[in-house]
C-alpha cells in the first residue's frame, strides 16, 4: 500500500473520530497521516480545521504553514491557511494569500467566493466586487456552480457596484491631477 493511500485511510479515520466527538484521537490520527505522508494535504487541512475549532490558532497557523511549504499547489490547504490567518487577526496576510490563491486557481469558485467574502468583510469593496463578478463570469462560461450561489454572487456584485460607485474617490476628486482626470473619463 502506498504512503498516500495509507495517509488517506488515516484521514478518513480521523474524520470519523472527529464526527464521533473524539477530538484528541482525531488530532493524533491527522498527525499520524502527516508522518506517513508529509505531502498529503488533506491531513493538514484537517489539522487546521480541528485546531481552529478548539481555538488553538497558533497550532492552526503552524499546521497551515508546514502544509503549504510541502504542498503550495493545494487549493484547500491555501483556503485553510487563509482561515487560520483571519483567526489570528492577520488580515493583511490573509488578503495577500487570498489574492495569490486567485492567481494560482483562477477557475476555482471556492477561491473566488473566499476572496469575495474576505474582501467584503474587510471593507475592500472593489476587490469583493471583482470576485463576485468573476463567479458570475465563470458560471456564464459553463462552470458548474449552483444557481443559488450564482444568484447570490449577482446580488452581491450589484450591491457592491452601487456602493463602490458612491465611494469612488477618484471620481470625486477628478480635478486633483491629470492622471485622475484621465481616469474619470
Report the CATH number at residue 23: 1.25.40.10
Residue spans of the chain under pLDDT 70: 166-185
Q: How far apart are CA 78 and CA 97, in angstroms?
A: 8
User: Mean pLDDT over all residues of the chain?
Assistant: 90
- One domain, residues 140 and 79: no
Q: How many domains does the chain have?
A: 2
What's the pLDDT at 62?
97
- One domain, residues 34 and 14: yes
What's the pLDDT at 162?
84
Q: How far apart are CA 83 and CA 104, in angstroms?
A: 17
Total-model pTM: 0.83
> With contact defined as beta carbons under 8 Å apart, do 65 and 75 qualify?
no
Place of cell 493545494: 74
Q: How far apart are CA 52 and CA 32, in angstroms?
A: 19
- Residue 72 belongs to domain spanning: 1-89
- One domain, residues 82 and 103: no
What's the pLDDT at 163?
81
- One domain, residues 39 and 123: no
- One domain, residues 162 and 85: no
- One domain, residues 64 and 5: yes
What's the pLDDT at 184?
54
Q: How far apart are CA 183 and CA 24, in angstroms?
A: 57
> Which set of grid coordinates corresponds to residue 25?
484521537
Q: How far apart are CA 183 and CA 180, in angstroms?
A: 5
Amino acid at each position: 500500500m502506498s504512503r498516500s493511500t495509507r495517509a488517506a485511510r488515516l484521514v478518513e479515520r480521523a474524520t470519523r473520530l472527529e464526527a464521533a466527538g473524539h477530538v484528541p484521537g482525531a488530532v493524533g490520527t491527522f498527525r499520524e497521516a502527516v508522518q506517513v505522508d508529509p505531502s498529503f494535504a488533506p491531513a493538514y487541512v484537517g489539522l487546521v480545521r480541528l485546531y481552529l475549532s478548539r481555538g488553538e490558532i497558533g497550532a492552526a497557523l503552524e499546521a497551515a504553514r508546514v502544509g503549504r511549504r510541502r504542498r503550495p499547489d493545494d487549493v484547500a490547504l491555501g483556503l485553510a491557511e487563509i482561515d487560520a490567518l483571519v483567526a489570528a487577526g492577520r488580515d493583511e496576510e490573509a488578503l495577500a494569500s487570498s489574492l495569490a490563491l486567485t492567481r494560482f486557481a483562477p477557475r476555482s469558485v471556492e477561491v473566488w467566493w473566499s476572496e469575495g467574502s474576505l474582501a467584503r468583510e474587510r471593507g475592500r469593496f472593489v476587490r469583493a466586487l471583482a470576485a463576485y463578478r468573476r463567479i458570475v463570469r465563470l458560471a456564464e462560461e459553463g462552470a458548474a456552480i449552483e444557481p443559488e450561489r450564482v444568484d447570490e454572487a449577482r446580488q452581491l456584485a450589484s450591491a457592491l457596484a452601487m456602493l463602490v460607485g458612491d465611494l469612488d474617490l477618484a471620481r470625486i476628486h477628478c480635478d486633483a491631477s491629470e492622471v485622475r482626470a484621465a481616469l474619470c473619463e
